[in-house]
Structure formats: structure tokens, C-alpha cells
Amino acid sequence: MASISNKRLAKELASIHEHGCPEGIKLLQADDLKTWFLSLEILGESLYKGEVFALRFTFGPRYPIESPEVVFVVNDTYQAPIHPHIYSNGHICASILGNEWSPVLNTSSICLTLQSMLASCKKKERPEGNDRYVKTAPLSPKNTHFLYEDDTV
């Protein structure tokens, strides 16, 4: 019998294949129901105009009750955006991935939120303590206890 997680992910993936992703978002790879890659382009006039980023979604067995692990891909092709809530290792400090997660959210709504977060950014800069965090960060950002106190960027 398929788990709730697998049923939900199969439904989300079928919807993406049937209806596509929101504008500026593309499914790059979803070979299974555990790890997906999506690209993210920021629309309109913004500091990130013309830049494309990639996100890796890793879904645990308790999705959608628990949020997926979502990170910006950092490799030879992609880099994490320079943003006050995104560390250079790709970890994202966003409340919807932590204490404000809701099972009604999905991959598209997460991408739209991150797209909006980047589009509204006024200054490209790394989070305070980026170098220290990256040196000591756990492999999964879900093992970091972020403080969500600055929603102005």
C-alpha cells in the first residue's frame, strides 16, 4: 500500500506534468518520489533579472505533514543567490520551511514563495555569519534551528 507521502507526491508530479509549473519555474528532474530538482527564474525587474537558480527538494516519509528539505543547488552550473536569507551553501532561512510549514503547501507554492522573496530583495548580501554557518552547518538545513525574525527582505 502506498504511503500518504508517495500518494501526495505522485499527485503533485502528475499535476506538474499535466499543467506545467508556474511561470519562471521548471521541473528539471524527478526520477523518483524522494528527490526533485526545479529551476527558478525571477520574473520582472529585480536584482536577479536574467539569473536562473536550481532547487533540490528532498522529501521525507512524513511529507506533507513535515516540510521537505529544500536547498539551492551549488555546483559548477548553479550557485545560491546572494540574499540575506540564503547561505552560500544553499541553505535557506525561510519560515515556510520551518515553523510556518503547512501540509497545504506544495512544491509549486514553495517555489513561488522563494521567487517572491528574491524578487522583493533590495540588496544582494549574504546572511550575517555566513562563513561561520557554512563551516559548521549540518548537512541538512532541517537540522538547523533558524530564527525567523526578519521578514523585511
Q: Which residues are catalytic?
A: 93
CA distance 58 to 104: 17
Contact criterion met (CB below 8 Å) for 11 and 33 = no
Place of cell 506534468: 17
Contact criterion met (CB below 8 Å) for 85 and 153 = yes
CA distance 98 to 144: 10
Grid coordinates representing 50? 536574467
Rounded to the nearest 10 degrees, how much is the dihedral formed by the CA atoms of 52, 54, 55, 56?
A: 180
